[in-house]
Structure 1
Amino acid sequence: MFWSGDAGTYSDAPKAASAINRIGQFWKPWFYKYLETIQSTGSCTEYIPLRDYYHRHTSGMFWEMEEIIPFGNHPVFRFACGWLMPPKASLLKLTQGKTIKRLYEEKHVIQDMFMPVDTLSEILEVFEEQFKVYPLWLCPFKLPQNPGLVHPKQDKTMMYVDVGAYSVPKVENFQAKKALKCVEHFVCKKDGFQMLYADNTLTREEFGEMFDRELYDNVRERYGCVNAFPDVYDKVGRHA
């Protein structure tokens, strides 16, 4: 799905009540599956409440829920249990055994990379080579030149794009750590950023190269946090 000023407009009220699609209701199909039906039947015009639009991917966790509950988009399941979706991540982790956890680590990709928009074609090729995961999440945004861990290396606000991959990789003989390391190396070389909710293989030095620690370290030093609180890398780095 693409959203732009030319393809969609904001409206205070629909022309007809029947044109409203409240896609946030629990019995509604997963949004990306709904888009597939539109693609196969042709175009349509409808009105989506703003809150529903913001949460259009919530019930299906983008397209991850199909991997967790393959029958989750079935109408019977949606009407009976759709109000339970999506399950809390903490609950999923609580019910994970060692085998399932290892399976996710070795045979599953959940990654978001923030890349300068002029490197989009290159990062897509890298994702294809290392992950071969589709569909991909592409979300352009402005990254301001403000102090902090994440800002453009150039001294100006720049357009970036979030490239997200969430699924089972289709690469033959997939090696998770090796593939992720290749992607991280490319992202760092092109002045991109890896989102730290996901697994990473960054060393402490690589982390410092990818993220600007100057302000962060100054604040920790100024307010006596160095010995009081763990470093951000120690919270997210596998090598810590």
Structure 2
Amino acid sequence: MKETGEPRSGAPKSGAKAGAKTGQAKQTAASESHAKPNPREAAVEALMRLAAEQPWNDIEIGDIAREADLSLAELRELFPSKGAVLGGLSRLIDRAVLEGDSSDLADEPARERLFDVLMRRLDAMTPYKPALRRISFALRGDPLSMLALNGVALNSHRYMLAAAGIDTEGPLGRIKIQGTVVAFARTVEVWLDDDDPALARTMAKLDREIRRGETFMERAEDARRLTAPLRAIGRALMERRPRRERAERSADEDPAAAI
């Protein structure tokens, strides 16, 4: 029989085999990716599960690693401490809020835009409410931890204000961000004890806090405008002083320059 070099009928060609293997590899990779979540998120979710069931101060780094199905070495590469894992929750919440669409509020007043963004933040925090209730109670007597979390909150709320279309640059930008952090923290205190699905108490508290902050910022803007002439005089005096000191030093070094 004459050999033609063609594959037998029904036999897959090498290209088909390669394609099948590639397809299987992609399916396997997709399956593994779906089965194993992002390790940073896994650590955060593990901490939240543990915090919902036991006191915050009883949770050890090793407990988080085991719950997240990570080694201690892997967890160390991701987070330096338990508090840092808690800070990681803020980034998850940030992303959930920032991925939302606020275009329908573009023509609304800044107060309404901010109210909407911060309520979306509370919605994103809802699955973790039992854990956050326990954590909040435990950290009230820990000023160092609260100070560290304030730094995390400043970064988060800078983005919340940006999502609401509110400027945070300029001399009063830092005040806006810190004021929003305080207003939201006061609202969260009410939210943690608000079991009404409509969140009427929480929304009323948030509205009051935003209006209070708005009034404060208006006064701060007025004060800045009123003190602008004084600041200008102060800057002029500060600029003249170095010139005078340089002239005096020059006269000391070269007496003829003073004649």
TM-score, normalised to structure 2, is: 0.28
Between structure 1 and structure 2, the one with the greater Rg is 2
Higher helix residue share: 2
TM-score, normalised to structure 1, is: 0.29
Higher strand residue share: 1
